[in-house]
C-alpha cells in the first residue's frame, strides 16, 4: 500500500538525522578524545601518586599552602634586611664614607620618593602585563641590582652611585610587597588572610631586627680581615646582598609552585569572582 504524503514528511527528520551521523563520525569521537587528553590532569588531583600523594605536594592541602607561605615571607626577607643596612651602620657610614647627616638622610628619602606613584604602577603591571609570577621575579631582580649598585658605590666611595642604587632598590622593594600580597590573596581565602598578612608583617620585622643584630659584628669581622674605610663598608654591604640572592631563589621556587598549583587546581577554568 503506497505511503501518503504525510507519512513521508514524518519520516524525513529521522532520515536526515541518520545521514548527518554517517557523514560526521568524528563528532562523537572528538569529545571522547578531549576527555582522554585531559584525564591525566584530573588524575593528578583526584588520584595522586608518588610525591603527589603526600600532603607536602598536594596544592589543595594545608601543608602545601603553609610551605608556600614560608616562601612568600622569605621573598621579602632580603628587602627588609637590606633596607635598614644604613641605619645599622650609621656611625660607620658617616666616618668611613665621610657623609653628612643630610647625605645620610638622602639614603632613605630617595628610597621613598619613587614609591609615591610607582606602587600603583607596579600593581597595575602585575595585573595587566607581567602576571604575578613574572612580576615578582622582575621586581626582585630590580631590588637585587639596586642593592648591588648601592654596595658598589660604597666600595668605591661614590655617593651618587649609592643614591642610584637606593633609588632602584626602592622601586623593586615596594612593588615586591604588592606582589607578596597578591600571592597571599591567591593562595589563602577568608579568615586565613588575617593570619597570613600578620605573619608577613612579623617576618618583615624579623628581617629588620636581624639586620640590626648582625651588621655591626659582620663589620667588625670584615675589618679584622684587613679592610678599612669605605672598602670595609662596601664589603659588608656586598655580604648583605646575599640575603637578596636568597630571596630571589625563593621567588623562583614560589613561581614554580604557583604554576604547578594553577595547572592542577585549574584556576584558569575557575577564576575567582
> Has residue 154 got a pLDDT over 80?
yes
Predicted local confidence at residue 27, as pLDDT:
46
Predicted local confidence at residue 51, as pLDDT:
57
Between CA 34 and CA 43, with CA 37 as vertex, the angle to 5 degrees is 120
- 268 confidence band (pLDDT: 50, 70, 90): low
Predicted local confidence at residue 151, as pLDDT:
96
- 114 confidence band (pLDDT: 50, 70, 90): confident
Give the mean pLDDT of the chain.
Answer: 81
Predicted local confidence at residue 186, as pLDDT:
87
Q: Which residue ranges form the domains of the chain, and what is each CATH number?
A: 65-264 (1.20.1250.20)
DSSP-assigned states of every residue in 70-93:
HHHHHHHHHHHHHHTHHHHTHHHH
* C-alpha cell recorded at residue 56: 607536602
Out of 27-31, 148-152, 197-201, the most confident range is: 148-152
Predicted local confidence at residue 174, as pLDDT:
87
> Has residue 194 got a pLDDT over 90?
no
Q: Please report, in angstroms and rounded to a whole number, the separation of the first and last CA atoms in the chain.
A: 65
* C-alpha cell recorded at residue 137: 621575579
State mean pLDDT over 171-190.
88
* C-alpha cell recorded at residue 1: 500500500
User: pLDDT tens digits, residue range 207-224?
Assistant: 999 999 999 999 999 999
- 29 confidence band (pLDDT: 50, 70, 90): very low
Predicted local confidence at residue 156, as pLDDT:
94
Predicted local confidence at residue 201, as pLDDT:
87
Alpha helices in the chain (DSSP H): 5-23, 26-46, 62-83, 85-88, 90-96, 101-112, 115-125, 132-155, 159-187, 192-224, 229-265
State mean pLDDT over 93-108.
92
Amino acid at each position: 500500500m503506497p505511503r501518503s504524503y504525510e507519512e513521508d514528511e514524518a519520516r524525513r527528520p529521522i532520515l536526515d538525522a541518520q545521514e548527518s551521523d554517517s557523514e560526521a563520525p568524528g563528532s562523537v569521537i572528538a569529545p571522547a578524545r578531549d576527555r582522554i587528553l585531559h584525564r591525566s590532569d584530573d588524575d593528578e588531583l583526584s588520584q595522586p601518586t608518588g610525591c603527589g600523594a603526600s600532603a607536602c605536594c598536594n596544592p589543595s592541602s594545608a601543608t602545601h599552602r603553609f610551605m608556600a607561605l614560608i616562601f612568600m615571607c622569605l621573598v621579602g626577607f632580603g628587602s627588609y634586611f637590606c633596607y635598614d643596612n644604613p641605619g645599622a651602620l650609621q656611625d660607620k657610614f658617616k666616618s668611613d664614607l665621610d657623609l653628612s647627616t643630610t647625605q645620610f638622610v638622602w639614603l632613605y628619602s630617595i628610597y621613598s620618593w619613587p614609591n609615591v606613584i610607582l606602587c600603583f604602577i607596579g600593581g597595575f603591571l602585575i595585573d595587566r602585563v607581567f602576571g604575578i609570577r613574572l612580576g615578582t621575579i622582575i621586581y626582585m631582580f630590580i631590588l637585587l641590582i639596586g642593592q648591588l649598585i648601592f654596595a658598589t658605590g660604597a666600595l668605591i666611595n661614590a655617593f651618587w652611585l649609592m643614591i642610584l642604587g637606593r633609588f632602584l632598590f626602592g622601586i623593586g622593594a615596594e612593588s615586591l610587597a604588592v606582589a607578596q600580597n597578591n600571592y597571599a590573596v591567591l593562595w589563602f581565602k577568608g579568615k586565613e588572610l588575617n593570619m597570613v598578612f600578620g605573619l608577613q608583617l612579623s617576618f618583615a620585622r624579623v628581617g629588620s631586627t636581624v639586620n640590626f643584630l648582625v651588621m655591626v659584628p659582620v663589620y667588625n669581622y670584615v675589618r679584622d680581615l684587613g679592610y678599612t674605610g669605605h672598602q670595609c663598608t662596601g664589603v659588608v654591604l656586598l655580604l648583605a646582598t646575599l640575603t637578596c640572592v636568597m630571596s630571589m631563589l625563593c621567588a623562583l621556587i614560589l613561581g614554580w609552585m604557583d604554576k604547578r598549583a594553577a595547572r592542577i587546581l585549574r584556576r584558569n577554568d575557575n577564576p575567582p569572582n
